[in-house]
Amino acid sequence: VQLVESGGGLAQTGGSLRLSCVASGFTFDDFAIGWFRQAPGKGYEAVSCVSNSEGLTMYGDSVNGRFTISSDNPGNTVYLEMNNLKPEDTADYYCAADLRPLFWKSHKSCLFRGRYEYWGRGIQVTVSS
């Protein structure tokens, strides 16, 4: 299983970026994908996630209303559209995959790190003020 993030870089406050996570090595039909971020000197923060088999699309409180997660199953790609960016969005962003989504169904959340078995290497997003 391999996850590769792209689309990061530098943006201005109020600007937009779209991150992509291309997944390979597994059948892209029963999965959960999460986006997490880690700002310098801080812990991981859940950004967004999608789990079709659980019927979940979720966002962290700090990005709700500004970020949108979507998927392109034929292309095995999950996107994170980030709008109205703020300096506090500056972080390394990681996508992660959970290939056993129904195992976690009782949790009714895809925003916790512990469920994700596979992680990308991360990509940097910097938002200038």
DSSP of the chain, one letter per residue? -EEEEE--EEEETT--EEEEEEEESS-TTS-EEEEEEE-TTS-EEEEEEEETTTTEEEE-TTTTTTEEEEEEGGGTEEEEEE-S--GGG-EEEEEEEES-GGGGGGG--S--GGG--EE---EEEEEE-
pLDDT of residue 72: 85
pLDDT of residue 75: 67
Q: What is the mean pLDDT of each run of 10 residues along the chain (129 residues)?
A: 96 98 83 95 96 94 97 85 98 96 91 96 97
Report whether 110 contacts 52 (CB < 8 A).
Answer: no
The torsion angles phi and psi of 70, rounded to 5 degrees, stand at -150, 165
For 92-102, write each residue's pLDDT tens digit: 999 999 999 88
pLDDT of residue 28: 63
